[in-house]
């Protein structure tokens, strides 16, 4: 190993890097057991496989001269180096450190299991440390292949942001056709409903605009399978002018109108309840709020009263409305 002067190499991201030779240790090539060290074997392996570009993390920048001195000693061509910025993870205290398992899933398969689409993961990871010239964010794999360039890679570390990943995933899910979304979501639908058939199209219509992770679906629709316990105070809503006095009146009228409804679908239920609100001379919300609360047992739901009633079916809907009336 040279002990004087400096070794300079060019990196596609960081430019020219110079390391003083006195800072390099006299590297061992063969261990005492006769086996080559990693650095020695790596150079030979890459040369024999005709490697032209070495892409790796920037933590190896300072060790690169050791490789190059070996290439030069053999009289071999030095490859092009592309050292990438590190990917960091957010710690609980707000600081960042190199991404590891404690920050969450660090494998592609792990992220898929958490409910992220494969195309979302590819798109998001491509933007970690790389910025397209037009600041665009949504890319298909084919578009990434066409647009990616090494000169767009940043020197600064990037942070793996799960909130941003979830935003990407939501955008991808909303871009699907309803039929595509239903197919993707079906395993999660079946976690709740099993073999029971419901109006999947209506379920998709209320979930597709709201879901960001597929694994969230069972928790969002569990109330459709089993009515949760709830307090009658949920029937109170100032904005809708719903209260404990008028809620039972609304529910009783809704039960009568819906019982007589011959067709049970979103449009028929909508026309029935909106017409009933006009007949009762109340705001739509004054009627629909207690109907939704009784049907769902939850203050916040994906979808409104009409969609929930349509998915539940007539018999179960009326049963739940009767329970709500009894509670009041």
Task: Please give the positions annotated as active site.
Answer: 101
Taking the CB of residue 90, how many other CB atoms lie within 10 A of it? 17
- CB neighbour burial string for 95-108, b if at least 16 within 10 angstroms, e if fewer: ebeebeeebebeee
Written as six digits, the tokens of 248 are: 């039972």
CB 109 within 8 A of CB 102: no
Alpha carbons 283 and 238: distance in angstroms, whole number: 12
Helices (H) and strands (E) in the chain, counts: 14, 7
5 phi-psi bin (left φ>0, alpha ψ -120 to 50, beta other):
left
In the numeric block, the tokens 């049970």 are attached to: 264
Q: Is 16 helix (H, G, I), strand (E, B) or coil?
A: strand
Strand partners, 56: 83
Alpha carbons 255 and 326: distance in angstroms, whole number: 12
Alpha carbons 22 and 292: distance in angstroms, whole number: 75
């Amino acid at each position: 190993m040279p002990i004087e002067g400096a070794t300079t190499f060019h990196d596609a991201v960081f430019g020219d890097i110079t390391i003083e030779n006195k800072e390099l240790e006299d590297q061992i090539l063969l261990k005492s057991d006769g086996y080559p060290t990693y650095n020695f074997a790596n150079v030979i392996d890459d040369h024999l496989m005709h490697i032209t570009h070495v892409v790796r993390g920037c933590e190896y920048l300072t060790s690169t001269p050791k490789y190059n001195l070996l290439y030069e000693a053999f009289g071999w061509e030095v490859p092009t180096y592309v050292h990438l910025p590190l990917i960091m993870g957010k710690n609980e205290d707000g600081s960042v450190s190199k991404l590891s398992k404690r920050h969450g899933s660090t494998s592609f398969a792990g992220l898929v299991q958490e409910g992220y689409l494969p195309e979302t993961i590819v798109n998001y990871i491509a933007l970690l440390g790389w910025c397209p010239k037009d600041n665009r964010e949504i890319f298909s794999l084919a578009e990434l292949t066409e647009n990616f360039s090494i000169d767009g890679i940043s020197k600064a570390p990037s942070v793996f942001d799960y909130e941003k990943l979830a935003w990407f995933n939501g955008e991808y899910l909303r871009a699907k056709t309803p039929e595509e979304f239903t197919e993707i979501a079906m395993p999660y639908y079946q976690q709740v409903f099993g073999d029971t058939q419901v109006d999947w199209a209506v379920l998709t219509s209320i979930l597709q605009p709201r879901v960001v992770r597929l694994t969230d679906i069972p928790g969002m629709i569990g109330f459709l399978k089993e009515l949760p316990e709830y307090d009658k105070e949920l029937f109170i809503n100032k904005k809708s002018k719903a209260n404990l006095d008028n809620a039972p009146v609304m529910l009783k009228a809704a039960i009568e109108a819906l019982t007589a409804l011959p067709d049970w679908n979103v449009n028929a239920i909508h026309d029935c309840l909106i017409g009933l609100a006009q007949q009762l001379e109340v705001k739509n919300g004054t009627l629909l709020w207690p109907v939704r609360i009784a049907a769902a047992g939850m203050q916040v739901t994906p979808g409104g009263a009409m969609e929930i009633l349509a998915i539940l079916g007539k018999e179960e809907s009326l049963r739940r409305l009767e329970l709500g009336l009894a509670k009041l």
